[in-house]
Structure 1
Amino acid sequence: MSKENGNLTVFGQETEFDGVLEFTDSLVITGKFHGTIKATGDLEIDRSAVCDVDVMNAESIVVSGKVTGRIEASERVELCSGSRVKGDIKTARIRISDNVEFEGQVSMLSEVPDIDIFSVASAEYKDALIKKTDEAR
Protein backbone atom coordinates (compact mmCIF):
# COMPACT_ATOMS: atom_id res chain seq x y z
CA MET A 1 0.00 0.00 0.00
CA SER A 2 2.83 2.44 0.70
CA LYS A 3 3.98 4.61 -2.15
CA GLU A 4 7.61 5.19 -3.01
CA ASN A 5 9.06 7.98 -0.87
CA GLY A 6 5.74 8.23 0.99
CA ASN A 7 4.87 7.70 4.62
CA LEU A 8 2.55 5.00 5.92
CA THR A 9 0.62 5.83 9.08
CA VAL A 10 -1.35 3.22 11.02
CA PHE A 11 -4.16 4.02 13.46
CA GLY A 12 -3.95 1.01 15.81
CA GLN A 13 -6.90 -1.06 17.02
CA GLU A 14 -6.94 0.83 20.31
CA THR A 15 -7.13 4.20 18.49
CA GLU A 16 -10.44 6.08 18.42
CA PHE A 17 -10.54 9.27 16.34
CA ASP A 18 -13.40 11.75 16.10
CA GLY A 19 -13.14 14.76 13.78
CA VAL A 20 -11.73 15.81 10.42
CA LEU A 21 -8.63 13.99 9.20
CA GLU A 22 -6.51 15.28 6.31
CA PHE A 23 -3.40 13.54 4.96
CA THR A 24 -1.30 13.26 1.80
CA ASP A 25 0.46 9.88 2.09
CA SER A 26 -0.95 6.47 3.05
CA LEU A 27 -3.10 5.65 6.07
CA VAL A 28 -4.33 2.35 7.49
CA ILE A 29 -7.15 2.50 10.03
CA THR A 30 -7.49 -0.56 12.29
CA GLY A 31 -9.42 1.14 15.11
CA LYS A 32 -12.52 3.33 15.26
CA PHE A 33 -13.01 6.51 13.23
CA HIS A 34 -15.91 8.98 13.27
CA GLY A 35 -15.94 12.12 11.16
CA THR A 36 -14.60 13.19 7.77
CA ILE A 37 -11.53 12.08 5.82
CA LYS A 38 -10.04 14.36 3.15
CA ALA A 39 -6.94 12.85 1.59
CA THR A 40 -4.77 12.96 -1.50
CA GLY A 41 -3.13 9.64 -0.62
CA ASP A 42 -4.27 6.05 -0.21
CA LEU A 43 -6.57 4.82 2.54
CA GLU A 44 -7.03 1.30 3.85
CA ILE A 45 -9.79 0.30 6.25
CA ASP A 46 -8.54 -2.83 8.01
CA ARG A 47 -10.74 -5.84 8.83
CA SER A 48 -10.93 -4.75 12.50
CA ALA A 49 -11.81 -1.10 11.71
CA VAL A 50 -15.20 0.56 12.21
CA CYS A 51 -15.65 3.89 10.40
CA ASP A 52 -18.68 6.16 10.58
CA VAL A 53 -18.08 9.04 8.18
CA ASP A 54 -19.87 11.93 6.53
CA VAL A 55 -17.51 11.41 3.62
CA MET A 56 -14.28 9.51 3.10
CA ASN A 57 -12.29 10.99 0.20
CA ALA A 58 -8.92 9.67 -1.00
CA GLU A 59 -7.04 8.68 -4.13
CA SER A 60 -7.68 4.99 -3.57
CA ILE A 61 -9.67 3.30 -0.80
CA VAL A 62 -9.47 -0.38 0.17
CA VAL A 63 -12.14 -1.54 2.62
CA SER A 64 -11.82 -4.77 4.59
CA GLY A 65 -13.74 -3.60 7.68
CA LYS A 66 -16.99 -1.75 8.31
CA VAL A 67 -17.79 1.66 6.80
CA THR A 68 -20.96 3.69 7.16
CA GLY A 69 -21.05 6.85 5.04
CA ARG A 70 -20.13 8.19 1.61
CA ILE A 71 -16.94 6.92 -0.07
CA GLU A 72 -15.25 8.95 -2.83
CA ALA A 73 -12.00 7.91 -4.53
CA SER A 74 -10.48 9.63 -7.54
CA GLU A 75 -8.77 6.41 -8.71
CA ARG A 76 -10.33 3.27 -7.25
CA VAL A 77 -12.35 1.62 -4.48
CA GLU A 78 -11.92 -2.01 -3.50
CA LEU A 79 -14.37 -3.80 -1.20
CA CYS A 80 -12.64 -6.90 0.15
CA SER A 81 -14.29 -10.15 1.22
CA GLY A 82 -15.96 -9.80 4.62
CA SER A 83 -16.30 -6.01 4.43
CA ARG A 84 -19.55 -4.17 5.20
CA VAL A 85 -20.33 -0.85 3.55
CA LYS A 86 -23.48 1.20 3.98
CA GLY A 87 -23.31 4.34 1.87
CA ASP A 88 -22.87 5.62 -1.65
CA ILE A 89 -19.62 5.19 -3.58
CA LYS A 90 -18.22 7.55 -6.23
CA THR A 91 -15.05 6.45 -8.04
CA ALA A 92 -13.36 5.89 -11.39
CA ARG A 93 -12.85 2.13 -10.83
CA ILE A 94 -14.43 -0.31 -8.40
CA ARG A 95 -13.80 -3.91 -7.40
CA ILE A 96 -16.22 -5.81 -5.17
CA SER A 97 -15.14 -9.23 -3.92
CA ASP A 98 -17.42 -12.10 -2.96
CA ASN A 99 -18.93 -12.09 0.54
CA VAL A 100 -19.32 -8.28 0.76
CA GLU A 101 -22.32 -6.60 2.39
CA PHE A 102 -23.00 -3.42 0.41
CA GLU A 103 -25.99 -1.12 0.69
CA GLY A 104 -25.88 2.03 -1.45
CA GLN A 105 -25.39 3.33 -4.95
CA VAL A 106 -22.27 3.44 -7.11
CA SER A 107 -21.50 6.42 -9.35
CA MET A 108 -18.65 6.04 -11.80
CA LEU A 109 -16.37 8.95 -12.65
CA SER A 110 -15.51 8.78 -16.33
CA GLU A 111 -12.50 10.98 -15.81
CA VAL A 112 -11.03 12.89 -12.92
CA PRO A 113 -11.80 16.63 -13.30
CA ASP A 114 -8.85 18.90 -14.00
CA ILE A 115 -9.33 20.56 -10.62
CA ASP A 116 -7.48 20.05 -7.35
CA ILE A 117 -10.40 19.20 -5.08
CA PHE A 118 -8.60 20.60 -2.04
CA SER A 119 -8.09 24.07 -3.51
CA VAL A 120 -11.67 24.82 -4.60
CA ALA A 121 -15.05 25.09 -2.97
CA SER A 122 -17.11 21.91 -2.98
CA ALA A 123 -19.76 23.53 -5.21
CA GLU A 124 -17.09 24.35 -7.82
CA TYR A 125 -15.80 20.75 -7.72
CA LYS A 126 -19.33 19.39 -8.13
CA ASP A 127 -19.85 21.70 -11.12
CA ALA A 128 -16.67 20.33 -12.70
CA LEU A 129 -17.91 16.76 -12.18
CA ILE A 130 -21.28 17.61 -13.73
CA LYS A 131 -19.62 19.27 -16.74
CA LYS A 132 -17.39 16.21 -17.28
CA THR A 133 -20.45 13.94 -17.05
CA ASP A 134 -22.41 16.11 -19.50
CA GLU A 135 -19.49 16.10 -21.97
CA ALA A 136 -19.49 12.31 -21.93
CA ARG A 137 -23.14 12.10 -22.96
Structure 2
Amino acid sequence: MAEDKQKKNLTVFGQETEFDGVLEFTDNLVITGKFKGEIRATGDLEIEKGAVCQVEKMTASSIVISGSVTGDICAQERVEMCNGSLVHGDVKTARIRIAENVEFEGEISMLEKEPETNLFSVASEEYKNALLLKSDDPR
Protein backbone atom coordinates (compact mmCIF):
# COMPACT_ATOMS: atom_id res chain seq x y z
CA MET A 1 0.00 0.00 0.00
CA ALA A 2 2.90 2.36 0.61
CA GLU A 3 3.65 2.13 -3.14
CA ASP A 4 0.18 3.51 -3.98
CA LYS A 5 0.99 6.72 -2.11
CA GLN A 6 4.19 7.12 -4.16
CA LYS A 7 2.39 6.68 -7.51
CA LYS A 8 0.20 9.78 -7.38
CA ASN A 9 0.04 11.86 -10.54
CA LEU A 10 1.98 15.12 -10.61
CA THR A 11 0.46 18.23 -12.17
CA VAL A 12 2.53 21.35 -12.82
CA PHE A 13 1.07 24.84 -13.24
CA GLY A 14 3.74 26.44 -15.46
CA GLN A 15 5.30 29.88 -15.04
CA GLU A 16 2.91 31.35 -17.62
CA THR A 17 -0.15 29.91 -15.84
CA GLU A 18 -2.43 32.23 -13.88
CA PHE A 19 -5.34 30.63 -12.03
CA ASP A 20 -8.12 32.42 -10.16
CA GLY A 21 -10.74 30.41 -8.27
CA VAL A 22 -11.16 27.29 -6.14
CA LEU A 23 -8.84 24.40 -6.90
CA GLU A 24 -9.53 20.89 -5.57
CA PHE A 25 -7.23 17.92 -6.23
CA THR A 26 -6.21 14.55 -4.80
CA ASP A 27 -2.86 14.06 -6.55
CA ASN A 28 0.30 16.19 -6.24
CA LEU A 29 0.58 19.72 -7.61
CA VAL A 30 3.50 22.06 -8.28
CA ILE A 31 2.73 25.74 -8.85
CA THR A 32 5.37 27.78 -10.68
CA GLY A 33 3.05 30.57 -11.88
CA LYS A 34 0.39 32.70 -10.17
CA PHE A 35 -2.56 31.44 -8.17
CA LYS A 36 -5.36 33.39 -6.50
CA GLY A 37 -8.29 31.85 -4.62
CA GLU A 38 -8.55 28.74 -2.48
CA ILE A 39 -6.83 25.34 -2.60
CA ARG A 40 -8.46 22.23 -1.11
CA ALA A 41 -6.30 19.17 -1.60
CA THR A 42 -5.58 15.75 -0.17
CA GLY A 43 -2.31 15.43 -2.12
CA ASP A 44 0.98 17.29 -1.72
CA LEU A 45 1.50 20.87 -2.86
CA GLU A 46 4.72 22.62 -3.82
CA ILE A 47 5.06 26.35 -4.44
CA GLU A 48 8.22 26.84 -6.52
CA LYS A 49 10.62 29.77 -6.35
CA GLY A 50 9.10 32.69 -8.27
CA ALA A 51 5.52 31.44 -7.84
CA VAL A 52 3.01 33.81 -6.22
CA CYS A 53 -0.06 32.53 -4.38
CA GLN A 54 -2.74 34.70 -2.80
CA VAL A 55 -5.22 32.49 -1.00
CA GLU A 56 -8.02 32.69 1.50
CA LYS A 57 -6.90 29.24 2.62
CA MET A 58 -4.55 26.59 1.27
CA THR A 59 -5.14 23.01 2.49
CA ALA A 60 -3.08 19.95 1.48
CA SER A 61 -1.39 16.88 2.94
CA SER A 62 2.04 18.56 2.86
CA ILE A 63 3.05 21.97 1.56
CA VAL A 64 6.57 22.99 0.52
CA ILE A 65 7.02 26.71 -0.16
CA SER A 66 9.94 28.20 -2.07
CA GLY A 67 7.99 31.13 -3.53
CA SER A 68 5.49 33.61 -2.08
CA VAL A 69 2.25 32.74 -0.24
CA THR A 70 -0.20 35.21 1.26
CA GLY A 71 -3.06 33.61 3.19
CA ASP A 72 -3.72 30.85 5.69
CA ILE A 73 -2.05 27.44 5.29
CA CYS A 74 -3.19 24.09 6.68
CA ALA A 75 -1.26 20.84 6.09
CA GLN A 76 -2.09 17.54 7.79
CA GLU A 77 1.49 16.22 7.45
CA ARG A 78 3.97 19.12 7.26
CA VAL A 79 4.79 22.61 6.05
CA GLU A 80 8.26 23.50 4.88
CA MET A 81 9.33 27.08 4.17
CA CYS A 82 12.48 26.96 2.06
CA ASN A 83 15.31 29.50 1.88
CA GLY A 84 14.15 32.76 0.28
CA SER A 85 10.41 32.09 0.61
CA LEU A 86 7.86 34.69 1.72
CA VAL A 87 4.86 33.61 3.80
CA HIS A 88 2.24 35.96 5.26
CA GLY A 89 -0.56 34.06 6.99
CA ASP A 90 -1.36 31.65 9.77
CA VAL A 91 -0.05 28.09 9.57
CA LYS A 92 -1.67 24.95 11.00
CA THR A 93 0.28 21.68 10.65
CA ALA A 94 1.64 18.58 12.41
CA ARG A 95 5.31 19.35 11.54
CA ILE A 96 7.01 22.52 10.39
CA ARG A 97 10.43 23.51 9.12
CA ILE A 98 11.47 27.10 8.50
CA ALA A 99 14.80 27.56 6.75
CA GLU A 100 17.10 30.56 7.09
CA ASN A 101 16.31 33.68 5.07
CA VAL A 102 12.52 33.16 5.19
CA GLU A 103 10.18 36.11 5.60
CA PHE A 104 7.31 34.78 7.74
CA GLU A 105 4.54 36.76 9.37
CA GLY A 106 1.71 34.93 11.10
CA GLU A 107 0.87 32.44 13.82
CA ILE A 108 1.68 28.74 13.95
CA SER A 109 -0.69 26.14 15.43
CA MET A 110 0.49 22.57 15.77
CA LEU A 111 -1.88 19.70 14.96
CA GLU A 112 -1.57 16.60 17.08
CA LYS A 113 -1.08 13.65 14.78
CA GLU A 114 -0.42 10.02 15.50
CA PRO A 115 2.51 8.64 13.46
CA GLU A 116 1.33 6.50 10.53
CA THR A 117 4.23 4.11 11.03
CA ASN A 118 4.84 2.00 14.09
CA LEU A 119 8.41 2.98 14.98
CA PHE A 120 9.18 -0.49 16.25
CA SER A 121 7.93 -2.38 13.19
CA VAL A 122 10.07 -0.82 10.43
CA ALA A 123 13.75 -0.90 9.62
CA SER A 124 15.56 2.25 10.76
CA GLU A 125 16.62 3.15 7.19
CA GLU A 126 13.02 2.90 5.95
CA TYR A 127 11.86 5.14 8.81
CA LYS A 128 14.59 7.71 8.10
CA ASN A 129 13.55 7.82 4.44
CA ALA A 130 9.93 8.38 5.46
CA LEU A 131 11.02 11.45 7.42
CA LEU A 132 13.27 12.89 4.72
CA LEU A 133 12.37 16.49 3.95
CA LYS A 134 13.02 18.29 0.67
CA SER A 135 15.77 20.53 2.04
CA ASP A 136 17.63 17.44 3.25
CA ASP A 137 17.38 15.78 -0.17
CA PRO A 138 20.79 16.00 -1.92
CA ARG A 139 19.18 15.90 -5.43
CA distance in 1: counterparts of 2:95 and 2:67, whole angstroms: 19
| Alpha-carbon separation, structure 2, partners of 1:10 and 1:86 | 23
Partner of 1:37 in structure 2?
A: 39
Where structure 1 has 5 or more consecutive residues not aligned to the other structure, the ranges are: 113-137
| 1:73-117 C-alpha deviation (Å, 9 max, x unpaired) | 0000000000000000000000000000000000000127xxxxx
Q: TM-score, normalised by structure 1?
A: 0.79
Report SS of the residue matched to 2:83. coil
Relative to the length of structure 2, the TM-score reads 0.77
CA RMSD of aligned residues (A): 0.9
**Counterpart of 1:83 in structure 2: which amino acid?**
S
User: Equivalent residue for 1:11?
Assistant: 13
Q: Which runs of 5+ in 2 are unaligned?
A: 115-139
Segments of 4+ moved more than 4 angstroms: none
Matching residue of 1:119? none
Question: What is the CA–CA distance in structure 2 between the aligned matches of 1:106 and 1:56, rounded to whole Å?
Answer: 14
Q: Mapping of 1:58-69 within 5 angstroms?
A: 58-69=60-71
SS, match of residue 37 in structure 1: strand
Q: Percent identity?
A: 71
